[in-house]
Amino acid sequence: MTKTDTGSPENVLPTPSHTVGPFYGYALPFRGGEDIAPLGHPDTVTVHGYVLDGEGRPLPDALVELWGPRPDGTVPEVDGSLRRDPATGGYLGRNGVEFTGWGRIQTDADGHWYARTLRPGARGDSAPYLSVCVFARGLLVHLFTRIYLPRDEAALAADPLLARVGDRRDTLIAGAEGDGTYRFDIRLQGEGETVFLEFR
Protein backbone atom coordinates (compact mmCIF):
# COMPACT_ATOMS: atom_id res chain seq x y z
CA MET A 1 0.00 0.00 0.00
CA THR A 2 1.33 3.45 -0.87
CA LYS A 3 0.26 7.00 -0.31
CA THR A 4 0.73 10.10 -2.45
CA ASP A 5 0.97 13.79 -1.69
CA THR A 6 -0.85 15.00 -4.81
CA GLY A 7 -2.45 11.86 -6.15
CA SER A 8 -0.23 11.80 -9.24
CA PRO A 9 1.84 8.66 -9.95
CA GLU A 10 5.14 10.55 -10.13
CA ASN A 11 4.80 11.63 -6.49
CA VAL A 12 4.16 8.19 -4.98
CA LEU A 13 5.88 7.75 -1.64
CA PRO A 14 6.51 4.37 -0.06
CA THR A 15 4.42 3.47 2.95
CA PRO A 16 6.58 3.64 6.09
CA SER A 17 7.56 0.27 7.49
CA HIS A 18 5.90 -0.78 10.68
CA THR A 19 5.35 -3.87 12.75
CA VAL A 20 2.24 -5.93 12.55
CA GLY A 21 0.83 -7.82 15.45
CA PRO A 22 1.59 -9.43 17.71
CA PHE A 23 -0.80 -12.09 16.42
CA TYR A 24 0.26 -14.70 18.97
CA GLY A 25 -3.21 -15.89 19.92
CA TYR A 26 -3.34 -18.62 17.31
CA ALA A 27 -0.77 -21.42 17.05
CA LEU A 28 2.21 -19.72 18.77
CA PRO A 29 1.14 -19.90 22.44
CA PHE A 30 2.13 -23.29 23.82
CA ARG A 31 0.30 -24.46 26.92
CA GLY A 32 2.69 -26.09 29.37
CA GLY A 33 5.73 -24.85 27.45
CA GLU A 34 7.42 -23.78 30.68
CA ASP A 35 7.66 -27.38 31.91
CA ILE A 36 10.60 -28.71 29.91
CA ALA A 37 12.26 -30.92 32.54
CA PRO A 38 10.85 -34.40 33.22
CA LEU A 39 8.87 -34.55 36.47
CA GLY A 40 11.10 -34.98 39.52
CA HIS A 41 14.40 -34.96 37.60
CA PRO A 42 17.31 -34.13 39.97
CA ASP A 43 19.00 -31.73 37.52
CA THR A 44 15.94 -29.46 37.16
CA VAL A 45 16.59 -25.73 37.34
CA THR A 46 14.18 -22.81 37.13
CA VAL A 47 15.09 -19.84 34.96
CA HIS A 48 12.89 -16.75 35.08
CA GLY A 49 12.93 -13.05 34.34
CA TYR A 50 11.25 -10.21 32.49
CA VAL A 51 11.24 -9.08 28.87
CA LEU A 52 11.83 -5.31 28.94
CA ASP A 53 11.58 -2.63 26.25
CA GLY A 54 14.03 0.20 25.62
CA GLU A 55 12.64 2.24 28.52
CA GLY A 56 12.77 -0.65 30.94
CA ARG A 57 9.04 -1.36 30.81
CA PRO A 58 7.94 -5.01 30.88
CA LEU A 59 6.25 -6.46 27.80
CA PRO A 60 3.11 -8.46 28.60
CA ASP A 61 2.83 -10.00 25.13
CA ALA A 62 6.27 -11.42 24.34
CA LEU A 63 7.18 -15.04 23.69
CA VAL A 64 10.41 -16.67 24.86
CA GLU A 65 11.62 -19.95 23.35
CA LEU A 66 14.31 -22.02 25.01
CA TRP A 67 16.41 -24.90 23.68
CA GLY A 68 18.91 -26.78 25.78
CA PRO A 69 20.97 -29.96 25.79
CA ARG A 70 20.83 -32.64 28.46
CA PRO A 71 23.13 -32.33 31.50
CA ASP A 72 25.68 -34.52 29.67
CA GLY A 73 25.73 -32.06 26.73
CA THR A 74 23.92 -34.29 24.25
CA VAL A 75 21.09 -32.85 22.18
CA PRO A 76 17.69 -34.54 22.72
CA GLU A 77 16.28 -36.37 19.74
CA VAL A 78 12.90 -37.13 21.26
CA ASP A 79 9.89 -36.59 18.99
CA GLY A 80 9.43 -32.84 19.23
CA SER A 81 6.87 -30.95 21.24
CA LEU A 82 5.64 -29.02 18.21
CA ARG A 83 3.50 -31.97 17.06
CA ARG A 84 0.12 -32.70 18.57
CA ASP A 85 -0.97 -36.22 19.40
CA PRO A 86 -4.20 -36.70 17.42
CA ALA A 87 -5.50 -39.24 19.94
CA THR A 88 -5.08 -37.20 23.14
CA GLY A 89 -4.76 -33.61 21.89
CA GLY A 90 -1.54 -33.31 23.91
CA TYR A 91 1.93 -32.73 22.56
CA LEU A 92 4.15 -35.59 21.41
CA GLY A 93 7.29 -35.83 23.51
CA ARG A 94 5.70 -33.73 26.24
CA ASN A 95 4.82 -36.62 28.51
CA GLY A 96 6.59 -35.63 31.73
CA VAL A 97 9.18 -38.38 31.27
CA GLU A 98 11.18 -37.69 28.10
CA PHE A 99 13.26 -34.53 27.72
CA THR A 100 12.74 -32.61 24.48
CA GLY A 101 14.96 -29.68 25.47
CA TRP A 102 12.47 -27.19 24.02
CA GLY A 103 9.87 -24.87 25.45
CA ARG A 104 7.89 -21.76 24.52
CA ILE A 105 6.68 -19.39 27.21
CA GLN A 106 4.43 -16.35 26.93
CA THR A 107 5.11 -13.48 29.33
CA ASP A 108 2.36 -12.72 31.82
CA ALA A 109 0.63 -9.37 32.37
CA ASP A 110 3.73 -8.12 34.21
CA GLY A 111 6.15 -9.18 31.46
CA HIS A 112 7.44 -12.11 33.54
CA TRP A 113 8.36 -15.55 32.19
CA TYR A 114 9.75 -18.71 33.74
CA ALA A 115 10.78 -22.19 32.68
CA ARG A 116 11.74 -25.40 34.46
CA THR A 117 14.37 -27.23 32.47
CA LEU A 118 17.46 -29.36 32.96
CA ARG A 119 20.80 -27.75 33.70
CA PRO A 120 22.52 -27.79 30.30
CA GLY A 121 25.81 -29.59 29.83
CA ALA A 122 28.78 -28.21 27.93
CA ARG A 123 29.11 -28.76 24.17
CA GLY A 124 32.37 -28.24 22.32
CA ASP A 125 34.43 -25.28 23.54
CA SER A 126 31.41 -23.42 24.94
CA ALA A 127 30.40 -23.15 28.55
CA PRO A 128 26.95 -24.67 29.20
CA TYR A 129 24.12 -22.44 27.94
CA LEU A 130 20.47 -22.35 26.91
CA SER A 131 19.63 -20.98 23.47
CA VAL A 132 16.89 -18.32 23.46
CA CYS A 133 14.62 -16.85 20.78
CA VAL A 134 12.45 -13.80 21.57
CA PHE A 135 9.30 -12.68 19.76
CA ALA A 136 7.86 -9.32 20.84
CA ARG A 137 5.98 -6.30 19.61
CA GLY A 138 8.19 -3.82 17.82
CA LEU A 139 10.37 -6.59 16.37
CA LEU A 140 10.18 -7.29 12.67
CA VAL A 141 12.53 -10.23 13.14
CA HIS A 142 12.82 -12.44 16.21
CA LEU A 143 16.00 -12.17 18.29
CA PHE A 144 18.45 -14.85 19.38
CA THR A 145 20.57 -14.87 22.51
CA ARG A 146 21.97 -17.25 25.12
CA ILE A 147 21.56 -17.83 28.84
CA TYR A 148 24.69 -18.99 30.62
CA LEU A 149 24.18 -20.35 34.12
CA PRO A 150 26.81 -19.45 36.72
CA ARG A 151 28.67 -22.25 38.48
CA ASP A 152 31.83 -23.03 36.56
CA GLU A 153 33.74 -19.76 36.37
CA ALA A 154 36.66 -21.35 34.49
CA ALA A 155 34.30 -22.54 31.72
CA LEU A 156 32.66 -19.10 31.50
CA ALA A 157 36.07 -17.41 31.30
CA ALA A 158 37.11 -19.73 28.44
CA ASP A 159 33.86 -19.46 26.45
CA PRO A 160 34.62 -17.99 22.97
CA LEU A 161 31.40 -15.96 22.67
CA LEU A 162 31.65 -14.44 26.14
CA ALA A 163 35.25 -13.47 25.38
CA ARG A 164 34.15 -11.68 22.18
CA VAL A 165 31.46 -9.54 23.80
CA GLY A 166 33.81 -8.16 26.43
CA ASP A 167 32.22 -6.04 29.16
CA ARG A 168 28.72 -6.89 27.90
CA ARG A 169 29.16 -10.55 28.90
CA ASP A 170 27.10 -10.00 32.07
CA THR A 171 23.98 -9.53 29.93
CA LEU A 172 24.28 -13.21 28.98
CA ILE A 173 24.91 -14.70 32.43
CA ALA A 174 21.92 -15.40 34.67
CA GLY A 175 22.01 -14.42 38.32
CA ALA A 176 21.85 -17.23 40.88
CA GLU A 177 19.02 -16.91 43.40
CA GLY A 178 19.60 -20.19 45.26
CA ASP A 179 17.83 -23.56 45.24
CA GLY A 180 18.45 -24.05 41.51
CA THR A 181 16.70 -20.80 40.53
CA TYR A 182 18.25 -18.23 38.17
CA ARG A 183 17.14 -14.75 37.07
CA PHE A 184 17.63 -13.62 33.48
CA ASP A 185 16.01 -10.42 32.21
CA ILE A 186 15.91 -9.82 28.46
CA ARG A 187 16.40 -6.13 27.65
CA LEU A 188 15.54 -5.39 24.03
CA GLN A 189 17.20 -1.95 23.85
CA GLY A 190 18.80 0.79 25.90
CA GLU A 191 21.04 0.61 28.91
CA GLY A 192 22.03 -2.95 29.71
CA GLU A 193 20.69 -4.25 26.39
CA THR A 194 21.06 -8.01 26.12
CA VAL A 195 23.62 -9.20 23.58
CA PHE A 196 21.73 -10.64 20.61
CA LEU A 197 23.23 -12.98 18.03
CA GLU A 198 23.01 -12.99 14.26
CA PHE A 199 23.27 -16.27 12.39
CA ARG A 200 24.48 -16.21 8.78
Residue spans of beta strands (DSSP E) within the chain: 2-4, 12-14, 44-52, 63-67, 102-106, 112-118, 129-135, 143-148, 175-178, 181-183, 186-187
Task: With cut-offs at 50, 70 and 90, classify the pLDDT of residue 91.
Answer: low
Q: What is the pTM of this model?
A: 0.82
* Structure confidence at residue 99 (pLDDT): 87
Task: With cut-offs at 50, 70 and 90, classify the pLDDT of residue 30.
Answer: confident
- Dump pLDDT digits (tens) for 128-162: 999 999 998 878 789 999 999 998 899 999 999 99
Give the pLDDT mean for 23-36.
75
Q: Is the pLDDT of residue 1 over 50?
A: no
